Structures are given as C-alpha cells and as structure tokens.
Amino acid sequence: DTAVSQTPKYLVTQMGNDKSIKCEQNLGHDTMYWYKQDSKKFLKIMFSYNNKELIINETVPNRFSPKSPDKAHLNLHINSLELGDSAVYFCASSPYIPPNVLTFGAGSRLTVL
Amino acid sequence: SQQGEEDPQALSIQEGENATMNCSYKTSINNLQWYRQNSGRGLVHLILIRSNEREKHSGRLRVTLDTSKKSSSLLITASRAADTASYFCATDAEYNNNDMRFGAGTRLTVKP
C-alpha cells in the first residue's frame, strides 16, 4: 500500500484553467503538507495542515486553495493557472509529535501551456 | 523562504569514492534531516540529527552538525552507482517543528 498517494501524477493544461491535485495518506499522521519544486529543484513549502487546521500558509497567490476534508486528505486547487505554476507539487505527511520526519508522495507534475 | 543551502550544487565521483555534501542554514533549529530524491520520485528520509548531537551514523551515512556555524555535512562512504540522486537537507523552525524548510539540493552522480 502506498503511504502517501497523489493524483494525478501528470497534468497538462492550458493557461487560465482550474485544476486540482489530490493527496491521501494512510499512515495515521496528523500533519500534511504541500511543497512546490521548481525546475531548479528548489523545494518550497506552500501549506501545512494539522488535523484539518491550516498551520502554515506561505506567501502563495490566493489562486491556490488547499482543502483538508479530514486528516488523511489534503487537496490543492489552483484557479486561473499561469505559466509560472508549472512545477512538480509534492504532498507529504508527518506525525505531529516531534521529531518531524516527512513521508512524501511521488509528486504531481503540472505543465501549464 | 529557503532555510538550507547545500553545496556543492552538483558532485560527480567514481564508484567506491566518498561523497561529502554540505548544508548551511540560517535560524535556530530543533533538528536537521537529510533526504534523498531519485529522478522523478518523491523525497525519502535518510537520517535525522538533533540540535544537541554532533555526529550520527547510519550504515554508509555519516552526518555532522555544527550549530555554532549553522552547518551540517553528509558523508556517503564507498559510494555506489545506486547512490546517484539529489540530496536535500531540511531544517525545522525552533518555534514550530512543523515548519520544515529545504535547500536546493546537491545532485550526486556516481559513475560505475
């Protein structure tokens, strides 16, 4: 069983469209994250949720809206996609109790044309 | 903002040689972790060192931490072609251990 699973793995879409990426973890972790990895491999934190509550919200355009229906799921919805949104988006989860070791999903590669 | 910075950005060595990667960070931390990313895959946790530890070993991995210099190093001994990957350091924020920040990574190539 995949511990942290993301769908879709690949997403190609036109500028201006709205798209969602879904993430689910079966590890029983309390905390989930979205990270963005750009073409230069910088991995930047976007959001973090603990037990459905938003705890980290980095300077991310408000076109990006995370949603956590329960602590096992964290979805990312992106409105009005722009070329600069093209990246690999990683979901991760961790137990809330320190130390905070992250388990990552395989990534979702978003290409905006 | 990024917390850690790895150097070198890229490293190419022969199988059997040792590989050393460095990481510097900016703020006080509770712990520092190293992760590995194979091409096209997610990151995988390798090793964690706490702020009150100076050195840690795990198999062929050796991590050091110097909190006075805000730096860490990852040594992979007797490297193998399968070690080819990108290696990232990650630090938490002293005030919020859920705030995990990564550097840009070191791309390691081990030639057979």
> Angle at CA A107, nearest 5°, toward B4 and B96?
40
B43, closest residue in chain A (CA to CA):
A104
B58-112 pLDDT per residue, tens: 999 999 999 999 999 999 999 999 999 999 999 987 777 778 889 889 999 999 9
In a domain, A42, yes or no: yes
Q: Which CATH number is A53's domain given? A: 2.60.40.10
In a domain, A82, yes or no: yes
In a domain, A32, yes or no: yes
Does B98 contact A96 at a Cβ distance shorter than 8 Å? yes
For B81, counting Cβ atoms within 10 Å of its Cβ (0-12 exposed, 13-18 middle, 19+ buried), the class is exposed
Q: If you write DSSP's letter for every residue of A9-60 in order, what string do you get?
A: SEEEE-TT--EEEEEEE-S--SEEEEEEE-TT--EEEEEEEETTEEEEE-S-
From B44, B90, B105, residue closest to A41, measured CB to CB: B105
In a domain, A102, yes or no: no
In a domain, A109, yes or no: no
Q: Is A78 left (phi over 0), alpha (psi -120 to 50) or beta?
A: beta
Q: Which residues of A touch B97 (CB under 8 A)?
A: 98-100
Q: Does residue A99 sit at the B interface (CB-CB below 8 Å)? A: yes
According to DSSP, the β-strands at B10-14 and B106-111 are parallel
Q: What is the CATH number of domain B5-111?
A: 2.60.40.10
Q: Which residues of B touch A55 (CB under 8 A)?
A: 96, 98
In a domain, A113, yes or no: no
> Could you give the number of structural domains in chain A?
1
In a domain, A67, yes or no: yes
In a domain, A104, yes or no: no
Domain positions in chain B are: 5-111
For B105, counting Cβ atoms within 10 Å of its Cβ (0-12 exposed, 13-18 middle, 19+ buried), the class is buried
Compute chain B's Rg from CA coordinates.
Answer: 13
Quick one: pLDDT band at residue A1, thresholds 50, 70, 90? low
Averaged pLDDT, B33-44: 95
| pLDDT over 70 (residue A86) | yes
The whole-number pLDDT of residue A90 equals: 97
Quote the domain boundaries for residue A67: 4-97
Does B97 contact A98 at a Cβ distance shorter than 8 Å? yes
Closest to A31 measured CA to CA, from B92, B10, B18, B9: B92
Distance (Å, whole) CA A9 – CA A7: 5
> Residue A85: what are its φ and ψ, rounded to 5°?
-80, -10
Q: Does residue A89 sit at the B interface (CB-CB below 8 Å)? A: no
Averaged pLDDT, A23-30: 95
Compute chain A's Rg from CA coordinates.
Answer: 13
